[in-house]
Amino acid sequence: MDNQRGYTLEELLVSNLARELKDEEVGFIGLGTGGRTFVLAVGVPTVASRLAQLTHAPDFVPMLGPIVDPDLSHIPESYTDHELLSWPCRAQISVMDCLDYWQRGAINIGFVSGAQVDMYGNVNTVAIGDYENPKVRLVGPIAQTNHMAFADRVFIFQEHEKRSFVEKVDFISGTGFLGGSDDREKAGLRGNGPYKVFTNLAILDFCPDTKRMRLASVHPGVTIEQVQENTGFELIIPDHVPVTPEPSEDELMLIREIDPKGLLLEAKIK
């Protein structure tokens, strides 16, 4: 799709995510992991934050972990301690502070990715299979629990595959809508939970009443059937499903200026 259409999947995701970010909102981006997860959960949100600042939201405040409002006109060549410490920003706070900002409700947007996401937007980064006797032990809940508990809106980034889009996650480490409807509110959580799911095939959201995952748009060249085939549960499919809007020429030009070396969108960072 890349060569034919003149933009990459990552650029499509960036432009659509940027349009969602509002002026004066605060978005929290993690610093961890590598490879594909890095591109989806760190690279795409970081470039989208800068694009939003340049197009419509000059006061959108990104937090790269505990680095508050870094100068995104310059992306460091690596995420080593020294580079992070030298990155011009408005505050270097402690991790404890970051987590307190979350709980206080000071952070609006969370960006997460997991090994599994289910039909109610619950996320799993702990174990595949029976928890007491797991088939694959994963890394643990990390700060995802916080993103998903406290953010006004959580964006989930995920490769669209049957094994990662499951009816019920094997372990809820990031709380979505639990079993749907008002389960989340009843559990005592303040944030609004998952808002949209961005994949390589589509953008999905959640039905306002049942909280079931719903197809919001399919990427150019992708069919509804393809999306359903790669989903391990029945998606809610509205009568009319639009095509995900493509990035404009201006957006593409800006994205390539923001990340000219592919440090973020091609995981070339060290």
Q: Which residues bind other proteins (CB under 8 A)?
A: 32-35, 38, 65-66, 80-82, 84-86, 92-97, 99, 102-103, 126-127, 131, 133-146, 149-150, 171-175, 178, 183-184, 187-190, 270
Assign 172 to helix, strand or coil.
Answer: coil
Q: Which is nearer to other proteins, 195 or 228 (CB)?
A: 195
Q: How far apart are CA 210 and CA 201, in angstroms?
A: 23
14 vs 115 by CB, closer to other proteins: 115
Judged by beta carbon, residue 191 or residue 247, the one nearer other proteins is 191
- Nearest-angstrom CA–CA distance, 45 and 38: 10
Q: Which is nearer to other proteins, 75 or 254 (CB)?
A: 75
Output phi, psi for 95, to 5 deg.
-60, -35
Q: Which is nearer to other proteins, 185 or 229 (CB)?
A: 185
Q: How far is the CB of 266 from other proteins (least distance, A)?
A: 14
Tokens of 170: 């094997």
Least Å from the CB of residue 108 to other proteins = 16
Helices and strands (DSSP H and E) totals, the chain: 10, 14
Nearest distance in Å: CB 257, other proteins: 26
**Rounded to whole angstroms, how far apart are CA atoms 192 and 210?**
14
Question: Least distance from C-beta 171 to other proteins, angstroms?
Answer: 5
Which residues lie below 8 Å from residue 182, measured CB to CB, with a gap of 6+? none
Q: How far is the CB of 159 from other proteins (least distance, A)?
A: 16
Cβ(172)–Cβ(129) below 8 Å? no
